[in-house]
Amino acid sequence: MSIDPIQLTQDLVRCESVTPEDDGAQQVLIDAVLPMGFTAEKLPFAEVENVFARLGTDGPHFCYAGHTDVVPPGDLAAWTHPPFAAEIHDGILYGRGTSDMKGGNACFVAAVSRFLEKHGAPDGSISLLITGDEEGPAVNGTVKVLEWMAAQGQIPDHCLVGESSNSTQHGEEIKVGRRGSLNGEIIVRGKQGHVAYQHLADNPVPKLAALVSVLSSYEFDQGNDHFLPTNLEVTTFDVGNPTANVIPATAKAAFNVRFNDLWTAKTLAEKITALLDETGIDYDISYASNAESFITQPGAFTDLVAGAVQDVCGRKPALTTKGGTSDARFISRYCPVVEYGVTNETIHQVDENATIADLEMLTDIYLRVLEQYFGKN
């Protein structure tokens, strides 16, 4: 008997798995896949629960990647329906993780059950890589599971990540890549003093403002066929000065750059440093990045997934690289990867939800992907 994606989504949402807590969510998935013939390996790293489950041992090997951790619900009183109650009202399932991305996990597992019921075991392997660290630091989750998979000879040929990829309805977008992310902090040091005796002080604020202006106005590139232009946003400008008649000693600014595949974090940091050096202003800067840009080039695999989406919902999805980062950035180092899931209109918000119709359609799409992949047209 095939698995009901709605009931499985509810079972997952009712686990209060706010990152890095699991609260039994991964066991819910394990209990769902073991009767289908999967083997499951629990892979805890530090405080993070992870699981790798596989059906079959031969190739081709198709992997679904997802996460069971969710962001905090915020103000519980602001929710119309309790965030972990998984209530259904007027055809809408409410709860934290319904869209991001417990619903996607449930739909894939349900799709596998329908595939097996309809076609029997695949001529190849189906696996699930499920982490509890996607919404957190992303250190003890997918990265380490992939290292374990590589050591065990379990790297898939292709991977589908169930992140919510559409804006308002199915069939809009398949994510075939993501921009990279680079954080930076600039510090300008001066000399504190009285504003009436400015000649005895050294105000760092105008200097920092000049540096920020250089970065904010610079055009790094114009983008390309797959990516938007690289974009730098200043996210804070801090002096920490509570007094109006004191020139501060230091001023700090922070920024984030979302960059395309014309750059790496290293080359981008080098460019930013060169731009700042040209001003002649003394400053200190530090950088941090855990996300390089990546692209799965359009080809047979992207065509297969796009064709499955179009078969089910009647719309040809665009291949895009918009949005934030996801664990696909780690998977891309090992095999071709794309992302497809429900809509992202309410992710991380109060009253996060997914419609019953969208979850059912996603299950049909995932089933069609599996049928196309394993030649069961």
The span from the CA of 229 to the CA of 91, in Å, is 39
Domain assignment of residue 115, given as a range:
5-178+293-373
Q: Domain check: are 153 and 278 in the same one? A: no
Q: Domain check: are 266 and 233 in the same one? A: yes
Q: Domain check: are 137 and 198 in the same one? A: no
The answer to whether residue 11 is catalytic is no
Q: Domain check: are 287 and 299 in the same one? A: no
Q: Residues 49, 69, 163, 352: which is the catalytic one?
A: 69
Domain count for the chain, please give it: 2
The answer to whether residue 69 is catalytic is yes
Q: Of 291, 313, 334, at which residue does a domain stop?
A: 291
Segment 99-149, tens digit of pLDDT: 999 999 999 999 999 999 999 999 999 999 999 999 999 999 999 999 999
Q: Residues 134, 163, 339, 371: which is the catalytic one?
A: 134
Segment 8-49, tens digit of pLDDT: 999 999 999 999 999 999 999 999 999 999 999 999 999 999
Q: Domain check: are 58 and 153 in the same one? A: yes
Place of tokens 């349900």: 110
CATH code at position 202 = 3.30.70.360
Q: Domain check: are 29 and 169 in the same one? A: yes
Question: What confidence category does residue 324 fall into, taking pLDDT thresholds of 50, 70 and 90?
Answer: confident
Q: Residues 12-34, buried b or exposed e (16+ Cβ, 10 A)? A: bbbbbbbbbbbbbbbbbbbebbe
CATH code at position 16 = 3.40.630.10
Asked if residues 138 and 305 have their Cβ atoms less than 8 Å apart, the reply is no
Q: Of 260, 291, 322, at which residue does a domain stop?
A: 291
Asked if residues 188 and 281 have their Cβ atoms less than 8 Å apart, the reply is yes
**Taking the mean position of all CA atoms in its chain, how far away is CA 114?**
27
Residues in a beta bridge with 338 = 160
Q: Domain check: are 78 and 133 in the same one? A: yes
The span from the CA of 251 to the CA of 200, in Å, is 18
Q: Of 242, 268, 291, at which residue does a domain stop?
A: 291
Give pTM, 2 decimals: 0.92
Identity (one letter) of the amino acid at 178?
R
Q: Domain check: are 300 and 270 in the same one? A: no
